[in-house]
Homo-oligomer: A and B are copies of this chain.
C-alpha cells in the first residue's frame, strides 16, 4: 500500500499537530520546543518549520479558544445555556483548549486571545442581564468557568479532578443562577 506524496505529507503534518497539541497542553508555550515536538512526532525540526513557518504559527494552529454559541433570553435561560456550554466543554476533548489555557498567563498573545474570547461571550451575557453591574456579573461567571476548568484539568484539585461532570454542573448550577439573577 504505497502512499502518494500528498497522503504522506498530510500524515506527517497530522502527527506533528497532534504532538504539538499534547506538548503545548502539558507544558505550555515556553517549555515546549520545536525539537521536542518533532521528536514526539518522529519528524525533523526543520520539517516542522517548513510546514508551519514558526513556533508561533504552530501554536496558533493547535491552541483553540473555545467559542460558544450566542446566548440570549431571561437570566435563568442564560444561566442554563452557560451551564450547558460548560458541561459540553468538560466532556469534550480539551487538548487544544488546554494548550491555550496553559499558556495564557505567560504567553502574551495567548493571554490576549483568551481575554478577547471571554470578552465576547461576556458582552453577550451582560446584554441579557437586567442589572447595572451586568458586565461584572458576566465576567465573574466567566471567571467561575475558567477557574473550574483550570482547577480540574490543569491543577487537578482533589475532589474535582475525578468528579463526574454532571456533579460539577449540579453543584455549580445554583451558583451561576445566583450571579446571573440580580437580587430582588
Contact = CB atoms under 8 A, between A and B. Distances in A.
Copies in the complex: 2
Which 4 residue pairs spanning A and B have beta carbons closest together?
A147-B147, A135-B159, A143-B147, A143-B151
Interface stretch (A42-50, A66-74, A171-179): A171-179
B142 A157 contact: yes
Given A106-B103, A106-B106, A179-B175, A151 B160 contact: no
B150 A136 contact: no
Contact of A106 (B102, B147, B159): B102
Contact of A118 (B126, B137, B157, B178): B157
Contact of A144 (B106, B111, B144): B144
B140 A172 contact: yes
A155 interface: yes
Interface stretch (A7-15, A25-33, A56-64, A88-96): A25-33
A94 to B, nearest CB: 14
B155 A114 contact: yes
Contact of A105 (B154, B172, B177): B154
Given A28-B30, A102-B106, 17 more contacts: A28-B106, A29-B106, A101-B105, A106-B106, A111-B154, A118-B155, A133-B159, A133-B163, A135-B158, A136-B168, A137-B171, A142-B147, A142-B157, A144-B175, A146-B150, A175-B176, A178-B178
A151 B146 contact: yes
24 contacts: A30-B31, A102-B105, A104-B155, A105-B105, A105-B106, A105-B154, A114-B155, A115-B155, A118-B151, A122-B157, A139-B158, A140-B148, A140-B151, A140-B168, A140-B171, A140-B172, A142-B147, A142-B157, A143-B144, A143-B150, A144-B147, A150-B150, A172-B179, A175-B175
